[in-house]
Amino acid sequence: MVARTIPVDAFDLVIFGGTGDLARRKILPSLFRRMRAGQMPATARVIACARGKMTRKAFQQMIREALLEFIPRPEDRPDDLLAQFLEVLDFVALDATGEAGWAELGEKLRPDTVRAFYLSVGPALFGPIAHRLHETGLATADSRIVVEKPLGHDLPSARELNRQLSESFSEHQIYRIDHYLGKETVQNLMALRFANALFEPLWNAQHIDHVQITVSEKIGVEGRGGYYDKSGAMRDMVQNHIMQLLCLTAMEPPARFEPDAVRDEKLKVIRALDPVPIGDTVRGQYRANGTTGSYLDHVENPDSRTESYVALKVQISNWRWAGTPFYLRTGKKLRARLSEIAVMFKEVPHSIFPEVSQRRGNALIIRLQPDEGITLRMTIKDPGPGGMRLREVPLDMTFADALGDMAEEVPDAYERLVMDVIRGNQTLFMRGDEVEAAWAWTDAIIASWEDDRARPEPYDTGGSGPEEALALMHRDGRRWREIEG
Ligand code: NAD
């Protein structure tokens, strides 16, 4: 099977912060892969803007080194293609908040070419850059602007950011990236639900016992403690990534696969979320173990109450989901790096087989990482003689196995999202009202923790989170799935 790639039109992509970590590690390697796949034309131009003088040649050299580092296999980056890609790159020394560089940038942009501005800089610069783009006339009516988390710190700051962006750009020009939405499996969740007749009739409280969404990381906050301690797991993971996974799992079928139709349905889910009582939340902070420090060792404030782990029991108040809880958890320094959605179906209403211990409901596991894929847990008869013994088997659709060579061609999230920006397709991007609704819901939970003033529960590095999180499930007669990489 050969992947089908439809080339995009020529474009001018301006990356503010084009010498930063995100640009070097993700955006530019993704563009290179799209050029290799034949999707990005050699007539495209990528103009990096950053503070500090640098020649075009020096910038090209910097990106050459980044590509060697982040696309490590030489066969994945043939010399001729590398040279062709570097030719597309340009650099303008520009101060986002000053005068330097803006006129030069204007001279480099071509009329009648798709124009996109990627703000790969700190969020404090989003508003000022949007304003300058408008003021200088560099942003045309069809230009796109791309921003990425953190999109605010709470509802008031998210509103303020939306206000600033909307002064210079209309909503249809604003692309808010949540890179989880660019993952192949996440889109497959929509295909699975809405392109197959099999699941949708079962996709409700009558048949689904509960849903578990897990985003677990092995790493801690070392080196990022300053940023993370002001944020915590709730703001860093739940408000954005986990919320998006929850929405795609829980939303009603949109009438069409179109940006606003999809985003309207996601927004309805967020608005249907019940406030979460503090007793249905667990916060944790990782302890030190023999070789690595504790959370408190990795941040400046020795008394910090910021959570590096959170678990929540969430109820969605609508006809489809009333009575079926969604359990969400995310944390750092856990046993493995794992992101998955587990849809746990109810048991059969009456078992005709005597093996009571074998009676577990079906489970549909949508794995985002590692090894993107979808697994359906079924119960079958144990093969051979010896009576009617049952066993559970996975019906596995790991993309790497099922799609063969095509799996190699599956673009990573940034590849897909940047190409969607150029094509002008907002389906996989968050709308301003969605971001605000998600903040309104998370803010209330964070406020209840602040009122409570309790310390987060300690948990062991390399484990599966605090005991209290296990209890959150046990008291409902349920169990978390194992965190296994
Ligand atoms: P970074 O510090 O590595 O790079 C920042 C870039 O911005 C540099 O190129 C710098 O020259 C430029 N810059 C700073 N001030 C400027 C100014 N006044 N005018 C012009 N250019 C200026 O940061 P990063 O890690 O690349 O992150 C950029 C943004 O993306 C941040 O908002 C971050 O939160 C977000 N983000 C980063 C990652 C990641 O993996 N690095 C992931 C998700 C979101």
d(CA 4, CA 406): 10
Domains delineated in the chain = 11-148 (3.40.50.720), 182-410+432-474 (3.30.360.10)
Judge whether residue 118 has pLDDT over 90. yes
pLDDT tens-digit readout, 208-261 = 999 999 999 999 999 899 999 999 999 999 999 999 999 999 999 999 999 999
Question: Which of 14, 19, 21 gets mutated to test ligand 1 (max ligand atoms within 8 A of its CB)?
Answer: 21
The owner of tokens 């999202």 is: 417
Asked if residue 161 lies in contact with residue 123, where contact means CB atoms within 8 angstroms, the answer is yes
How remote is the CA of residue 127 from the centroid of ligand 1, in Å?
14
- pLDDT-derived band at 356 (thresholds 50, 70, 90) equals low
Measured in angstroms, how far is the CA atom of residue 120 from the centroid of ligand 1? 5
CA distance 338 to 327: 16
SS3 26: helix
Query: How does residue 405 score in pLDDT terms, banded at 50, 70 and 90?
Result: low
| Separation between Cα atoms, residue 89 and residue 60, nearest integer Å | 7
The pLDDT of residue 389 is 81
Can you say which residues are annotated as belonging to the binding site for NADP(+)? 17-24, 51, 149
Is the pLDDT at 410 greater than 70? The verdict is no
- Give distance in angstroms: CA of 443 to centre of ligand 1: 26
Predicted confidence (pLDDT) per residue in 94-115, tens digit: 999 999 999 999 999 999 999 9
Q: Quick one: tokens of 318? A: 């609508």
Our CA angle for 13, 75, 120, nearest 5°, is 25
Asked if residue 21 has its Cβ within 6 Å of ligand 1, the reply is yes
Q: How far is the CA of 317 from the centre of ligand 1 (A)?
A: 39
- Is the model's pLDDT at 270 over the cut of 50? yes
pLDDT band per the 50, 70, 90 thresholds, residue 394: confident
pLDDT value, residue 400 = 63
Residue 301: CB within 6 Å of ligand 1? no
Query: What is the predicted pLDDT for the residue at 350?
Result: 86
Look at the block and give the residue holding tokens 């204007």: 106
119 Cα nearest atom in ligand 1: 29
Q: Is the pLDDT of residue 327 over 50?
A: yes
Kindly tell me if the per-residue pLDDT of 407 is higher than 80. Answer: no
Residue 402 pLDDT class (50, 70, 90 cuts): low
% the chain with pLDDT above 90: 84
Q: Is the dihedral of CA 186, 10, 21, 66 positive or negative?
A: positive
Per residue in 155-214, pLDDT (tens digit) is 999 999 999 999 999 999 999 999 999 998 899 999 999 999 999 999 999 999 999 999
What does the pLDDT read at residue 357? 57
Catalytic: 350?
A: no
Q: Which of 46, 121, 231 to mutate to test the pocket of ligand 1 (most atoms within 8 A of CB)?
A: 121
Question: Does the beta carbon of 105 lie inside 6 Å of ligand 1?
Answer: no
- Give the model's pLDDT for residue 2: 52
Average pLDDT over residues 301-328: 97
Cα dihedral 428, 259, 120, 223, rounded to 10, equals -40
Higher-pLDDT residue of 409 and 431 is 431
If phi > 0 it is left, if psi is from -120 to 50 it is alpha, else beta; for residue 52 that is left
Mean pLDDT of the chain: 94
Catalytic residue among 172, 241, 298, 474: 241
Known binding positions for substrate: 179, 183, 217, 236, 332
User: For residue 100, what are the contacts with CB-CB under 8 A and spacing of at least 6?
Assistant: 93, 94
pLDDT value at residue 364? 96
Q: CA torsion, points 438, 440, 444, 445, in degrees to nearest 10? A: 10
- 382 pLDDT band, cuts 50/70/90, is confident
With cut-offs at 50, 70 and 90, classify the pLDDT of residue 397: confident
Give percent of the chain with pLDDT exceeding 70: 96
The reply to whether ligand 1 has any atom less than 6 angstroms from the CB of 148 is yes
Q: What does the pLDDT look like over 435-483, one tens digit per residue?
A: 999 999 999 999 999 999 899 999 999 999 999 999 999 999 999 999 9
Query: Distance, CA 262 to ligand 1 centroid (Å)?
Result: 30
User: If you take atom 43 of ligand 1, which residue's CA is the nearest one?
Assistant: 149
Q: How many residues does the chain have?
A: 485
- The residue whose C-alpha atom lies closest to atom 2 belonging to ligand 1 is 20
Tell me the per-residue pLDDT of 469-481, one tens digit each, with 9 for 90 and over: 999 999 999 999 9
DSSP 143-206: -EEEEES---SSHHHHHHHHHHHHHHS-GGGEEEE-GGGGSHHHHHHHHHHHS-TTTGGG-STT
Q: The tokens of 219 are what?
A: 């790493």
Residue nearest to atom 5 of ligand 1 (CA): 20
Question: Pick the residue with more confidence: 375 or 356?
Answer: 375
pLDDT above 90 for 379: no
25-58 tens-digit pLDDT: 999 999 999 999 999 999 999 999 999 999 999 9
Reported for 472-475, long-range contacts at CB under 8 A and 24+ positions apart, including other chains, are: 472/280, 472/282, 472/311, 472/313, 472/327, 473/327
Which pLDDT value is given to residue 353? Answer: 82
Judging by DSSP bridges, how do beta strands 363-369 and 373-381 pair with one another?
antiparallel
pLDDT of residue 403: 65
pLDDT value at residue 1: 47
User: Does 146 score more than 90 pLDDT?
Assistant: yes
Strands 144-148 and 114-119: parallel
The alpha carbon of residue 195 and the mean position of all alpha carbons in its chain are separated, in whole angstroms, by 23
